[in-house]
Structure 1
Amino acid sequence: MTDTMWNYAPAADFTSGTDLTGWRVEATDGHIGKIDKHSSEVGAQYLVVDTGVWIFGKEVLLPAGTVTAVDLDNQTVRIGRTKDEIKNAPEFDKDKHLGSPDYHQQVGSHYAVHPGPRTPGTL
């Protein structure tokens, strides 16, 4: 199910209203970039991450359901996916992202197939 992909899990400890722009993003196996844009709109929560040189300056769209922790002190967001899982996700498309439920379904399905680690008691 991809519906929960577009909401922060309670265990991620995201506080609504926190501006994550510019924060570091860490996959399970290392740094992947910085947050360029984010949304905290219920049911449509996501991060757009600028990967810099890691994947040739591309941006990736990460549903909020991939976030495992928000570290306020270090301004770091941890993602429960590997670099390869993120790199192999559907390419970020700014135009499709803004108005295509099908695109969100495609991205959500990719991360649902690669569920990453689970925290006990969460989906």
Structure 2
Amino acid sequence: METLWACPAQLNRSLDDEVIGYEMEAPDGSVGTVVRTSQVPGFDHLVVDAGIWKFGRSVVVPAGMVTSVDDAARVIHVGCSREQIKEAPRFERDQDTGDLFYLQKLGAYYESPAVAAE
């Protein structure tokens, strides 16, 4: 992975507001619907409404976890599992997506050997 917080260069695009409403898919199933994007300098990420499987909570997925984007189907594919996303540091819906302490904690989680090995 080039960097955890940047959309992979091979996708040749940015993950801006155009992807709001896209579904997010992990290799083992649906994660939810993208409800916000954030290009906090150095920390690009997606906020996803995880729906029922996460008890109505939102999750944050760093842009570097994206493996492909299917604009025709409106689906974003990520390389980590649903369980790994579910176990990530908790994000509250009204939390500021620019909270650098939270983003650093989230980055440490996604860069950990357990997640990075996938």
Same fold by TM-score, threshold 0.5 exceeded?
yes
Distance in 2 between the 1:74 and 1:84 partners? Answer: 24
The within-5 A match list for 1:1-123 is 4-15=3-14, 19-40=18-39, 43-93=42-92, 94-95=94-95, 97-98=97-98, 100-113=99-112, 114-115=115-116, 117=118
Which has more strand, going by share of residues? 2
Compute the RMSD of aligned alpha carbons.
2.3
Instruction: Supply the AA of the counterpart residue of 1:33.
Output: G
Identical amino acids, percent of aligned pairs: 32
Q: Please list the CA deviations of residues 58-86 of structure 1 after superposition, one character each: whole Å capped at 9, or x if unmatched.
A: 10011101111111111100011001100
Cα deviation for residue 15 of structure 1 reads 4.1
Q: Which runs of 5+ in 2 are unaligned?
A: none
Instruction: Output the TM-score relative to the length of structure 1.
Output: 0.81
Report the counterpart of residue 120 of structure 1 in structure 2.
none
Contact kept? 2:15, 2:37, Cα under 8 Å: no
| CA contact 1:89–1:107 (8 Å) conserved in 2 | yes
Aligned residues: 115
With structure 2 as the length reference, what TM-score do the two structures score? 0.84
